[in-house]
A and B are shown apart, each in its own frame.
Chain A
Amino acid sequence: MSANAELLKTIFRELLNFDPHPDDLETLSQMIDTLKQDTARLEEVDTTGVNPAFLSEPFAGPRKV
């Protein structure tokens, strides 16, 4: 098992009290990398002062805090 997969297993166990499926650890660690890429793309968008969407009624319109 790669170091990344080992780390992932530990994080899941310690943080979520959850054991990932043993067949998935390597693929999952690669998928976490794509998640990081997704997150990095989101950081490119300026959301200063923007409320998260859809946490109350839909179509109430965008709200600034």
Chain B
Amino acid sequence: MDQSLLFAPIRELAHKIREGETSSLSVMESLLERINRLNPQVQAYLTVSQERSLEAAQQKDREMRAGKNSGPLHGVPLALKDNIETKGLRTTNGAKRLHDHIPSADATIVKKLKKAGAIIFGKLNMHEIALGGTTDNPHYGFTRNPWDSSRIPGGSSGGSASAVAAGMCPASFGTDTAGSIRIPAALCGIVGLKSTLGRVSRSGVFLLSWSMDCVGPITRTVRDAALLLEVIGGFDPKDPVTSRKRLPRYTEELEAGIKGIRVGVCKEYFSDLVEPDVHRAFQGAMTEISRLGIDVVELPLNLERAHVSAAHEIILASEAATYYEPHLRAGIGDFGPDVRLRLQRGLAIPAVHYLKAQQVRTVIQQRFRDLFDQIDVMASPTVAVPAPLRGQQNVSAGGVQRSLREALVSLTLPVNLVGFPAITVPCGFSSEGLPLGFQLVGRPFEEATLLRIAHQFESATPWKDQRPPL
């Protein structure tokens, strides 16, 4: 197979399979060869179903020859973060006690992907139980950033982003509670979409926070993210948070006009936090989207970062501790030290503080609504720093030493707190050659606007064609 297809968008792969220009089997064989060669170094995959996926690819090719096209992803191989349950395929949630867990049913999104013709062939490493941003998993190993193997890929969906960036997977899925899709996508130089809370079902996904978790695609192009959201989105009676709102045809709206859209930049919220390279790349992105006809305006968010992060941390810690309390009681020694500490801390949060945090959340959500009365979309850098080194506890961000966590999640977690949709798109490189991204945040259920701007920005810039040196 043409090796460039390993970096092809899934839309192109699906087209070539459909037109007989390549076969699902050929794509799968090339992918497995690359994974077998690179995974010992990158450590993105925890499980690869080699024989079963080759058989599935042959079956898809037979179906195609017989004129049976099962959908827009017919014969396309995809891999998932390992907290998404896959029938008959090991799902560890990055946890020691689930080392041998073989689910008996697929998560709702897996059912939808299979129905659209995808072959789910592998499961990707993650920060233990998705509670952390390094993907340095004490039980399953450290996933490396393909741009620099001494650096973290971000997390918690680090394996998902690393595999896509490294050409070891056409596209993948992650989950996002504080930025776990957007952070690794940005640090690995690709696209990550966190949809509105309620747009995508979490049924069959190991949760961390009932009120903030979202599932979403990690892709090389915005168009692929749009296509995958079309496939996985929509109401699911098994997840009461999902909405009955109509699911738009996102791919059909990508080329629609963007002139006159107002994008707000709340500089006072992040300008003291971000590294100069990040600021420079973000400014470049704003110049480019202005050139595309978008009105970029500066305005205040009227929020203190400390209030936002305090509310987020108390809600996340409380909900995660509630979800994992039985596991803590059954085997506290099964958790790695960082996750164990955060879960135990969550147990110590009184209910009154949890509810106070939820009240503060309402206030913060109202501030966001007020902001979006004046603008259509908000923009900011995705992460304050380029990918940090493995083992770094503190990083310099905005000229100040900050905790790794603060540097990673400060710009992404407000969006989880309010439940709005957001997308990260590559926008340049640091002086050390590390990829950088910026995020666009939209009103609830207005993913189409984000995808349109992101797609047209991506088309006008060279960043999506850059490849890591592997």
Q: Which residues of A contact B (CB under 8 A)?
A: 8, 11-12, 16, 18-21, 23-24, 27-28, 31-32, 35, 37-39, 41-47, 50-55, 57-59, 61-63
| Cross-interface CB contact of A41 among B243, B310, B358, cutoff 8 Å | B310
> Is B333 a contact partner of A53 (Cβ separation < 8 A)?
no
| Cross-interface CB contact of B353 among A16, A42, A51, cutoff 8 Å | A42
Check B197 for interface membership: any CB of A closer than 8 A: yes
Q: Is the interface of B mostly helix, strand, loop or mixed?
A: helix
Q: Chain B residues near A46: list those with CB within 8 A.
A: 363
> Is B419 a contact partner of A59 (Cβ separation < 8 A)?
yes
Per the CB 8 Å criterion, the residue count for chain B at the interface is 42
Known: A18-B329, A39-B353, A42-B307. Contact between A12 and B361, CB under 8 A? no
Q: Chain B residues near A27: list those with CB within 8 A.
A: 341
> Is A24 a contact partner of B361 (Cβ separation < 8 A)?
no
Instruction: Known pairs A35-B345, A44-B307, A58-B444; list 8 more (Cβ under 8 Å).
Output: A12-B344, A24-B340, A35-B349, A42-B311, A53-B365, A54-B361, A58-B243, A59-B196
CB-based closest 8 A-B pairs? A52-B358, A47-B359, A38-B310, A53-B361, A41-B310, A53-B362, A54-B211, A50-B359
Please give the distance in Å from B92's CB to the nearest CB on chain A: 21
Q: Determine which residue in A8, A20, A37 has the highest number of CB atoms from chain B within 10 A of its CB, and name it.
A: A20
Q: Chain A residues near B254: list those with CB within 8 A.
A: none
Check B87 for interface membership: any CB of A closer than 8 A: no
> Is A58 a contact partner of B241 (Cβ separation < 8 A)?
yes
Q: Which residues of B contact A (CB under 8 A)?
A: 196-198, 211, 241, 243, 304, 306-307, 309-311, 313-314, 328-329, 332-333, 337, 340-341, 344-345, 347-349, 353, 355-363, 365-366, 369, 419, 444-445
Question: A62–B309 Cα gap in the complex (Å)?
Answer: 20
| Cross-interface CB contact of A59 among B340, B348, B444, cutoff 8 Å | B444
Q: Chain A residues near B348: list those with CB within 8 A.
A: 8, 11-12, 28, 32, 35
Please give the distance in Å from B180's CB to the nearest CB on chain A: 19
> Is A62 a contact partner of B362 (Cβ separation < 8 A)?
yes
Question: A37–B345 Cα gap in the complex (Å)?
Answer: 13
Please give the distance in Å from A36's CB to the nearest CB on chain B: 10
